[in-house]
Amino acid sequence: MSAIDDLPPLREVIARHGLMPKKSLGQNFLFDLNLTSRIARASGPLDGVTVVEVGPGPGGLTRALLANGAARVVAVERDQRCLPALAEIAAYYPGRLTVIEGDALEVDLRPHLGDGPARIVANLPYNVATPLLTGWLTSDPWPPWFQSLTLMFQKEVAQRIVAAPAADAFGRLGVLAGWRTQARIAFDVGPGAFVPPPKVTSSVVHLIPRAAPLPASVRMLERVTAAAFGQRRKMIRQSLKGLGRDPAALIAAAGLDPTVRAEELPIEAFCTLARLFEAGV
Ligand code: SAM
């Protein structure tokens, strides 16, 4: 495959800017621009789209997003050392790359986005990957401001995100993701694709927001799933005591078998429980 742009190879960029990867920042860089292009393409059509990227680092995925047609990339990066390398990409693609220095858990990028369609694409730092996803999945109003999320996780986390009821990996994250999105694993990425290689395999997960998820409040759903999965091997007549009330009436009103376990319940059942619990049942 021919080069995706005329910028220098990433290994050279890293060496020139002294970007020794830091474990504390979850820095596992991707150097292979064919792979970063594959991630960009997995996010869907990018023409006219503003992409939000968390943690561009030396810019491998950023370059792929821009080369694959994103109208703009708005990126948030915590590591100041990466900013000069990203400035070179911004100069190569005038007006199309905005880099905000900061912590993705705290910075609100929406004021930088404009009115057009937006997608989120990132090779996430593993130490904050789950809180970032949970933040996006619990945002209100819904449908949200983004058309899709295309995110790299450790494979074990990816499996929890896409898990269906009764699967071993099904838990709170699977309920939240399945409630508000259609989520699937796009492809796996072996450790050797990263510098330095992580210990485990990674997966790119693609999530598309549901236009009309079943009604339930995020807060109540989180309380119900925290109680139910807090004791995931116990029957719900026991585990739901964690809600602070006798759950018998709640379980009966929801039409559920009190002897099932949380991991056996469909997502609709959690939504029903959340609605009834909020109503004081
Ligand atoms: N996108 C680059 C790539 O694919 O090669 C780097 C990905 S690396 C897994 C994660 C990046 O996120 C690093 O550049 C790291 O500095 C950055 N990062 C870590 N914690 C962050 C945070 N809280 N907010 C924003 N960026 C963060």
221 lines ligand 1 (CB under 6 A): no
Taking residue 42's Cβ as centre, other Cβ atoms within 10 Å add up to 15
Amino acid, single-letter form, for residue 51: V
Q: Could you give the CA distance from residue 227 to residue 238 in angstroms, rounded to a whole number?
A: 10
pTM: 0.97
Q: Could you give the CA distance from residue 104 to residue 120 in angstroms, rounded to a whole number?
A: 12
What angle, 0 to 180 degrees and rounded to 10, lies between the N-to-C axes of helices 267-278 and 172-180? 90
Q: What is the pLDDT of residues 229-256, one digit of tens each?
A: 999 899 999 999 999 988 999 999 999 9
- Provide the residue count of the chain: 281
78 lines ligand 1 (CB under 6 A): yes
Helix (H, G, I), strand (E, B) or coil at 153: strand
What pLDDT does 53 receive?
98
Q: How many angstroms separate the alpha carbon of residue 228 from the centre of ligand 1?
A: 33
Mean pLDDT of 3-10: 93
Which domains, and CATH codes, for the chain? 10-209 (3.40.50.150), 218-278 (1.10.8.100)
Radius of gyration of the chain (CA): 21
Q: How many angstroms separate the alpha carbon of residue 134 from the centre of ligand 1?
A: 17
**Residue of 78, 130, 194 with the most ligand 1 atoms within 8 Å of its CB, for mutation:** 78
Q: How many angstroms separate the alpha carbon of residue 77 from the centre of ligand 1?
A: 6
Q: What is the pLDDT of residues 181-192, one digit of tens each?
A: 999 999 999 999
Mean pLDDT of 8-32: 96
Q: What is the pLDDT of residues 36-46, one digit of tens each?
A: 999 999 999 99
| Nearest CA, atom 21, ligand 1 | 78
Cβ–Cβ < 8 Å for 21, 196: yes
| DSSP 8-state assignment for residue 235 | B
Please state the atom number of ligand 1 nearest to the C-alpha of residue 30: 5
- Which residues have CB under 8 Å from 159's CB, separation 6+? 169, 185, 203
| DSSP 8-state assignment for residue 143 | S
Q: What is the pLDDT of residues 80-90, one digit of tens each?
A: 999 999 999 99
ipTM of the prediction = 0.99
Q: Could you give the CA distance from residue 156 to residue 129 in angstroms, rounded to a whole number?
A: 12
Mean pLDDT of 165-176: 96
Residue 174 binned pLDDT confidence (cut-offs 50, 70, 90): very high
Q: How many angstroms separate the alpha carbon of residue 126 from the centre of ligand 1?
A: 9
Task: With a cut of 60, say whether residue 1 has pLDDT above it.
Answer: no
**Residue of 123, 124, 153 with the most ligand 1 atoms within 8 Å of its CB, for mutation:** 123
What pLDDT does 3 receive?
83
- The pairs formed by 256-264 with CB atoms below 8 angstroms and a separation of 24 or more are 259/235, 260/235, 260/236, 261/232, 261/233, 261/234, 261/235, 261/236, 262/225, 262/228, 262/229, 262/232, 262/236, 263/165, 263/166, 263/167, 263/170, 263/171, 263/229, 263/232, 264/165, 264/166
Which residue ranges are tagged as binding site for S-adenosyl-L-methionine? 28, 30, 55, 77, 103, 123
Q: How many angstroms separate the alpha carbon of residue 212 from the centre of ligand 1?
A: 32
3-state helix, strand, coil in the chain (%, to 5): 40, 20, 40
Q: What is the pLDDT of residues 251-279, one digit of tens each?
A: 999 999 999 999 999 999 999 999 999 99
Q: Could you give the CA distance from residue 221 to residue 271 in angstroms, rounded to a whole number?
A: 6
59 lines ligand 1 (CB under 6 A): no
56 lines ligand 1 (CB under 6 A): yes
Q: What is the pLDDT of residues 205-227, one digit of tens each?
A: 999 999 999 999 999 999 999 99
What pLDDT does 6 receive?
95
Mean pLDDT of 126-138: 97
What pLDDT does 245 receive?
87
What pLDDT does 2 receive?
61
Residue 96 binned pLDDT confidence (cut-offs 50, 70, 90): very high
Q: Which contiguous run of DSSP H or E holds residue 94?
A: none
What's the mean per-residue pLDDT of the chain?
96
Q: How many angstroms separate the alpha carbon of residue 26 from the centre of ligand 1?
A: 6
117 lines ligand 1 (CB under 6 A): no
